Amino acid sequence: MEYRIAKGWRIFAYIFGAAFFTGGFCFLIPLFTRSLPIWAALFIALFFIILGAGAFLDTMRTLVIIDEHALSIARLLRTRSALLAEIDGYRKGEKDTFFIVLKSGERPIPLPRYLERRKELIEWFEEKYEDIDTRELVKETNILLDNDQFGQTREERASRLAGAKKIDSISTVAGIGLFFWAVIYPKPFETLMYVLLAAPAVGVYITWYYKGLMRLDKKKSSPYPSMLLLILMTILAALLVVIKAYDLYGFDGHAWSFLLGITISAAAVCIAACQQAIAVSGKKALTYVVIVFLAGLFSFSLLVFSNCHYDRSRPRLYHVEVTRKWIHTGKGTTYHLKLSPWGKYTGEEELSVSKSFYQRVNTRDSVIVALKNGRWGLPWYFLAHGGGSPRINSQ
């Protein structure tokens, strides 16, 4: 049996390759590139020519051959072969990826996308071989249910596992929901921040409570539930909210010391609470690095929010002129102002503002910049117009 790239994708690849190949040669014509240095034009030309030629040649060369004894997959830069008897099974990944797993333990062989009759080929593999993820899931589930660490009887352990998986499902939905709440409509601001900062702590507590039944990673082939998505999504959401809500005037050594102290404390608490989950991790060093990194992001959000939200200092006011305003449209619409020099800013400064604030000001208007000391000594500022509300309250 032979399988090549489907006809429609071959035509697309040929057009794509020809377009980039031709575009690359255009950069060698002085008429098109007289505004570029010679080295830059040569680099861009070479990049496009290689990209176009690669797309064309890979499409021509890609071929999957299966006979009575062996499998062979040819691509542009490499051909991999294996005896059918040496194939252990297959794994399905995201975005329709399909991998052939070998008994030797070598790196799995990816099945090319956009093959003609690819569905037929995948069905052949599914009929002849095992899904490795399913096999490992069944194996690990049986090991888990036989482990008296998680209960006195198999039935008790099964019930405890089912409860943990239910919590995992609820927390996953909650984490994704909170992330979209923060991105799409971050109001009421104070309530949202309390929830986002509390959620990672809840995830760590649940992981501790289940004494090793909850894991810190999430794998398709593992029966163990995890709080990973709840913790990760809410930490990222909190970071996005504080970056959008507050403008820091600086981040000096004092602030870095404060951040480092909070990060170490948060990471230490997480590591202590999740020690049983860390102990069974296959990559302990990486797990520790990820914990410290996430603790740093969480600590930054906590520091900035508490520093600005609970700041009761008297602001210093600067009257600043709006020198330019514009709207940027992409995946979302953002509103920008450029301000004349003030404070430590010796040049014009660009700020992102809310739509309502943007609509209230015009070029050459004078706006008020209010600079505050910060609850923890981390200066920050916000814009006001004619005594209007701070930027964070108008978003």
pLDDT at 393: 40
- Secondary structure of residue 384 in the 3-state scheme: strand
Task: Give the integer Cα–Cα distance in Å for 189 and 166.
Answer: 29
Ordered by start, the domain boundaries in the chain are 2-128, 142-309, 316-393
Task: Give the integer Cα–Cα distance in Å for 161 and 151.
Answer: 10
Task: Give the integer Cα–Cα distance in Å for 360 and 382.
Answer: 15
pLDDT at 175: 96
Q: Which amino acid is at 183?
A: V
- Cα end-to-end distance, the chain, whole Å: 60
pLDDT at 36: 65
Contact, 357 vs 367, CB < 8 A? no
Within 8 A by CB and 6+ apart from 84, the residues are 66, 68, 69, 70, 71
Task: Give the integer Cα–Cα distance in Å for 115 and 97.
Answer: 12
Q: Which two tokens stand for residue 295?
A: 């603790």
Predicted TM-score (pTM) above 0.85 = no
Q: What is the DSSP string of 147-183?
A: -GGG-SSHHHHHHHHHHHHHHHHHHHHHHHHHHHHHH
The CA radius of gyration of the chain, in Å to the nearest whole number, is: 28
Within 8 A by CB and 6+ apart from 334, the residues are 327, 328, 352
Looking up tokens 């040669």, which residue turns up?
A: 25
Cα maximum dimension of the chain: 82
User: Is domain 316-393 given the CATH code 2.40.50 in the classification?
Assistant: yes
Q: Which two tokens stand for residue 206?
A: 């649940």
Task: Give the integer Cα–Cα distance in Å for 131 and 124.
Answer: 12
Going residue by residue through the chain, which has 395 residues, state the pLDDT in tens, using 9 for 90 and above: 888 998 888 898 889 888 888 887 777 676 555 666 777 778 888 888 888 888 888 888 899 999 889 999 998 888 999 999 999 999 998 888 999 999 998 999 999 988 999 999 999 999 999 999 999 899 988 988 888 888 888 899 899 999 999 999 999 999 999 999 999 889 999 999 999 999 999 999 999 999 889 988 888 878 899 999 999 999 999 999 999 889 999 888 889 999 999 999 999 999 999 999 898 877 889 999 999 999 999 999 999 999 999 999 999 999 999 999 889 887 778 888 899 998 888 888 888 888 888 888 888 888 899 999 999 999 999 887 643 333 444 33
- Among left, alpha and beta (phi > 0; psi -120 to 50; other), residue 281 is beta
pLDDT at 47: 87
The contacts found for 161-167 with CB under 8 angstroms, 24 or more apart, are: 161/213, 161/223, 161/225, 164/210, 164/213, 164/214, 164/225, 165/225, 167/206, 167/225
Q: Print burial letters for 270-289: b (CB count within 10 Å at least 16), e (below 16).
A: bbebbebbbeebeeeeebee
Q: Which two tokens stand for residue 110?
A: 């990816």
